Amino acid sequence: MPVSGPTSSALRADVAQVTTVVHEGHLTIEVRDDGVGAAGTPAGGPAAHSDRIAALGGTLEVSSAPSRGTTLRARVPLAT
């Protein structure tokens, strides 16, 4: 079974933080962990999440660096 961002962070990091914000007609969800991180963009899961978020008219940003953890930030428009 695929592992989602928050679940993946919890499995691979000591600390995971999930933040949600609704502002100006958009929902932003940020998942941040203090795991080992990776050089460049992590493979696998983020690409699948990006496709799903794009289908909703949103965007996904992934940032990761060795020894600095990983942050996924999704932003999707809310229905009006």
Domain limits of the chain?
5-77
Name residue, tokens 């962070």: 9
Confidence of residue 34 (pLDDT cuts 50, 70, 90): confident
pTM of the model: 0.69
Instruction: Report pLDDT digits (tens) over 65-74.
Output: 887 788 889 9
Q: Say whether domain 5-77 belongs to CATH 3.30.565.10.
A: yes
Q: Is the confidence at residue 43, as pLDDT, over 60?
A: no
What share of the chain in percent tops pLDDT 70? Answer: 65
Alpha-carbon distances of 50 from 15, 16, 24, 72, 80, rounded to whole Å: 23, 20, 22, 10, 23
Confidence of residue 40 (pLDDT cuts 50, 70, 90): low
Q: Is the confidence at residue 45, as pLDDT, over 70?
A: no
